[in-house]
């Protein structure tokens, strides 16, 4: 039973793996081009494990930014993970405490999206989350190391379309999460808000603000639907 649960987590990670391979290789190539060694890329992917954060860090390194600026900026970029962790809390209350640090360490945009899609259908134990997270991070590390190893051979990752791998992966994960008209409405709302904020605000705050507002509206709609549904009026 435990082996089956772990393998279900591994299976759920497959869509993430297919996205991580090109994205991770693209990161490895970029990291190698600014002078990071293969071992440095390996430990960055092992200890940081945040695709967008790692891309931002590499960009700041190439621009000669200070360590404080890099740490502060990557913290802001990845602060959305706090919201993701909070959303997962109701679904991990019965999971052993020893596994919670490991599960929280493996939360990314992709693993969160897949996990939420699964836990809303049925309860999942710690082995499912571990299977999902370990598989995802293992392939992320492998792909970034491969990219760093061949970084000097591929001078321009954009020539191979690797720069679009991450957006394509997010689009695929979004489609997997949309199951009804409400999901379509919220997805369109998030897109609209993100575009609006991007046009009026500097930096990448548009993504964080659109996420927070859409999630808040989604929760309000969910509560209103439950409160005024025919089954709850009796």
- pLDDT at residue 40 in the model: 94
Contacts of residue 77, Cβ cutoff 8 Å, sequence gap at least 6: 50, 52, 53, 56, 204
- pLDDT at residue 175 in the model: 73
First to last CA, the chain: 40
- pLDDT at residue 127 in the model: 93
The whole-model pTM stands at 0.70
- Look up residue 127 and give its two tokens: 């082995």
**Dihedral (CA of 194, 197, 199, 204) sign:** negative
- pLDDT at residue 39 in the model: 94
- pLDDT at residue 109 in the model: 84
What would the pLDDT profile of 134-145 be if each residue is shown by its tens digit?
Answer: 999 999 999 999
- pLDDT at residue 234 in the model: 47
* E strands, the chain, in order: none
- pLDDT at residue 44 in the model: 94
Residue pair 33/140 in contact by the 8 Å Cβ criterion: no
Q: Which residues of the chain have pLDDT under 50?
A: 233-234
- Look up residue 164 and give its two tokens: 């679009």
- pLDDT at residue 220 in the model: 81
- pLDDT at residue 145 in the model: 95
For 204, phi and psi rounded to 5 degrees?
A: -110, 25
């Amino acid at each position: 039973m435990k082996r089956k649960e772990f393998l279900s987590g591994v299976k759920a990670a497959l869509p993430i793996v297919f996205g991580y391979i090109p994205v991770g290789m693209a990161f490895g190539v970029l990291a190698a081009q600014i002078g990071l060694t293969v071992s440095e890329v390996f430990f960055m992917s092992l200890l940081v494990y945040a695709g967008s954060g790692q891309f931002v860090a590499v960009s700041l390194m190439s621009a000669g930014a200070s360590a404080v600026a890099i740490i502060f900026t990557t913290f802001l970029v990845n602060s959305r993970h706090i919201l993701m962790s909070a959303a997962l809390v109701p679904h991990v209350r019965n999971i052993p405490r020893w596994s919670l640090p490991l599960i929280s360490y493996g939360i990314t945009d992709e693993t969160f999206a897949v996990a939420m899609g699964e836990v809303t259908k049925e309860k999942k134990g710690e082995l499912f989350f571990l299977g999902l997270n370990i598989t995802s991070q293992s392939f992320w590390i492998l792909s970034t190391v491969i990219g760093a190893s061949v970084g000097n051979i591929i001078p321009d990752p954009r020539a191979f379309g690797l720069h679009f791998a991450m957006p394509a992966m997010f689009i695929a994960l979004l489609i997997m999460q949309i199951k009804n008209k409400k999901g379509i409405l919220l997805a369109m709302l998030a897109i609209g808000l993100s575009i609006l904020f991007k046009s009026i605000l500097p930096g990448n705050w548009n993504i964080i603000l659109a996420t927070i507002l859409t999630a808040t509206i989604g929760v309000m709609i969910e509560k209103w639907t439950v409160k005024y549904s025919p089954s709850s009026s009796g």
